[in-house]
Structure 1
Amino acid sequence: MTSIISSRETRDTDSGDLLVWILAWSELVAFGALLTAFVVASALQPETFAAGKARLHHTLPVVNTIVLLASGWFAARAAEQSAVSGRRLMLLLAALGGVVFAGLKCLEYVFEGASLLSGDPFSQLYLLITGFHLTHVAFGSMILVLVAVFPTRENIHLITTLWHVIDIVWLVMFPVIYLL
């Protein structure tokens, strides 16, 4: 009887893993295409992109990088917790990091103001890529809160894996958009 239950649990986890990897790879492909477009456009219009990058503030994105990495750390800790209360706390702290990230990103948009509405290719791609990422962070934060209500190992595994993909995307976006 134990082997039947164990086999069933393995099957359930395996099917969940397939979903996780499909979602993770689809996210990486989508952001990879966007960042490739950004790099190609910056090579085709170096003056426009240099001027656009010069307008950006760099302090908030650095702080946001730290916030998102801390949030990812809390998400990873949620997966390690044996007590349900510990899982919930870590998931909620990860979600809070996502909310702080979103707030800081919106503040950055306010600081950039009219310069982002200029319609040049840099501003358009910047808003598209960072806005798409911001949407993922906001949605992921909501899912983290939902999983905190139902903190099964499978739910935690799914959301923390996707949350780390969001981290990875930002860690590639940050130097491409702000530093290169």
Structure 2
Amino acid sequence: MMTGTNISAVAIAAPVEEEESDVLLLWVLVWSELVAFGILIGAFLVMSAFEPERFALARLHLSPGLAAINTVVLLTSGWQAAVAARPTASARQVRRSLIAAALLGFVFLLVKLAEYAGEIRYAGDAAVSGFFELYFIITGFHLLHVVFGALVMLLIAWRPTRGNVALITTLWHAIDLVWIVMFPIIYLA
């Protein structure tokens, strides 16, 4: 027969176990995303080694200035996400910072779409099509993550809990990390 002490011990242990499994799931998600992007970026690097002239020619059609602006936008958004994740942040600060981070994510989207508008015409050019196929796959996959993350941040800002804020801000920082690696490899190499 269970006593009141045993029941409360079970009730207290269950949320801790759930929280631990949530953290494990988060890190499985983050690492799987990093591996997926690592494979894509690795393929880009291999192709650039096999076709250096074509990749150099293709890079002339990119807009590194817009990509640099997007880097600043995404890092500022990451800073807002970090503010939201602070343990001392009030509920109002958390909401405001998550909304700011999400809005900056949408600014990233708009700048990236403007960049794509100038680059899409080169995708059909046989001399640089290999570069642009990989470029649009990698940056498009990243852009989908930015949009998804921004939408989730807005949803969490509506009713933030510490666990959900930690989850989305950790994922958001992983998205930032991927961009910081992609930017010099794609635009500056």
Give how far 1:4 is off.
Answer: 5.5
Counterpart mapping for 1:79-94 below 5 A: 79-80=85-86, 81-94=88-101
Which residue is 2:135 aligned to? 126
- Structure 1 vs Structure 2 CA RMSD: 1.5
Alpha carbons 2:83, 2:89 under 8 Å: kept: no
Whole-angstrom CA distance in 1 between matches of 2:104 and 2:11: 37
Counterpart mapping for 1:62-77 below 5 A: 62-77=68-83
- Tell me the secondary structure at the aligned position of residue 16 of structure 1: helix
Counterpart mapping for 1:128-147 below 5 A: 128-147=137-156
Q: Which moved more, 1:102-111 or 1:7-16?
A: 7-16
Q: 1:158 aligns with which of 150, 167, 176?
A: 167
Give how far 1:90 is off.
Answer: 0.6
Mark the CA change 1:129 to 1:138 in structure 2 (over 3 Å): closer, same or farther.
Answer: same
Structure 2: 5+ residue stretches without partners: none
Give how far 1:19 is off.
Answer: 1.0
* Per-residue deviation, residues 47-66 of structure 1 (Å, max 9, x unmatched): 11010111111110001000
Q: 2:46 aligns with which of 40, 45, 66?
A: 40
Q: How many residues align?
A: 180
Q: Counterpart of 1:62 in structure 2: which amino acid?
A: A
Q: TM-score, normalised by structure 2?
A: 0.90
Which residue is 1:179 aligned to? 188
Q: TM-score, normalised by structure 1?
A: 0.94
Q: Which moved more, 1:157-166 or 1:1-10?
A: 1-10
Mark the CA change 1:71 to 1:5 in structure 2 (over 3 Å): closer, same or farther.
Answer: farther
Which residue is 2:108 aligned to? 101
Moved over 4 A (4+): 1-6
